């Protein structure tokens, strides 16, 4: 699988909800996980590999809070956001070597379907909540640079285009 880079138009498309999770969808998710880990990244949305399905893979280690996670989400949605917000630096595999401070809610309540067809609902905070908000944005065609001023966003996109041409 190849990770698409800005300005690929598939990154701006909305991913489709899955009616049924098939063995093909699970195979795609496992390939996404391999691609993400190899990149290396902490999260990957299916749009980023040119597949318009609501699939996300997560793999991170948060040494500060002694937490690690590795899982797949189908049809993820955030059903509640905390009022408290935090600013953290974000980057993206589709915008290599580009980082910016982004403000997002500190906690979320998330629901999704796992690879065993189980409905999961849980409260998540910190670094993991940040990753999930970033990846769920991808499924709606939203990039982290969309939270920046148009000037900053355009500078970052130009840098990515330049990197691609090297």
**CA gap 157, 82 in Å, rounded:** 30
Residues with catalytic annotation? 135
Residue 20 lies in a domain: yes
| Total domain count, the chain | 1
Whole-angstrom distance, CA of residue 92 vs CA of residue 5: 9
Residue 60 belongs to domain with CATH number: 3.90.45.10
Mean per-residue pLDDT pooled into runs of 10, the chain (166 residues): 95 96 96 97 97 97 86 98 97 96 98 96 95 98 97 94 82
Task: Give just the sign of the alpha carbon dihedral 148, 149, 152, 156.
Answer: positive
Does residue 77 sit within a domain?
yes
**Residue of 124, 12, 17 whose CA lies nearest to 71:** 124
Whole-angstrom CA distances from 76 to 1, 15, 66, 68, 98 are 22, 11, 24, 19, 26
Computed from CA positions of residues 94, 70, 111, 78, in that sequence, does the dihedral angle turn out positive or negative?
negative
- 153 is a domain residue: yes
Q: Residue 156 in contact with residue 162, Cβ under 8 Å?
A: no
63 found inside a domain:
yes
68 inside domain: yes
Q: What gap in Å lies between CA 78 and CA 42, rounded to an integer? A: 19
Residue 3, domain member (yes or no) = no
Domain residues for the domain of 147 are 9-165
* Strand ranges inside the chain, DSSP E: 43-45, 55-62, 67-81, 85-92, 95-105, 107-113, 119-125
Residue 4 in any domain: the answer is: no
142 belongs to a structural domain: yes
């Amino acid at each position: 699988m190849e990770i698409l880079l800005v300005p690929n138009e598939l990154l701006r498309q909305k991913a489709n909800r899955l009616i049924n999770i098939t063995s093909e969808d699970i195979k795609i998710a496992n390939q996404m996980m391999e691609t993400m880990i190899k990149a290396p990244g902490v999260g990957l949305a299916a749009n980023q590999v040119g597949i318009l399905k609501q699939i996300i893979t997560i793999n991170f280690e948060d040494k500060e809070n002694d937490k690690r996670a590795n899982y797949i989400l189908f049809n993820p949605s955030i059903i509640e956001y905390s009022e408290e917000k935090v600013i953290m630096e974000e980057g993206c595999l589709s915008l290599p070597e580009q980082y910016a401070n982004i403000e997002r809610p500190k906690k979320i309540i998330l629901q999704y379907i796992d690879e065993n067809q189980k409905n999961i609902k849980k409260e998540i905070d910190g670094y993991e909540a940040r990753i999930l908000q970033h990846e769920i944005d991808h499924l709606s065609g939203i990039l982290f640079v969309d939270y920046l001023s148009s000037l900053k966003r355009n500078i970052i996109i130009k840098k990515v285009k330049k990197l691609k041409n090297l």
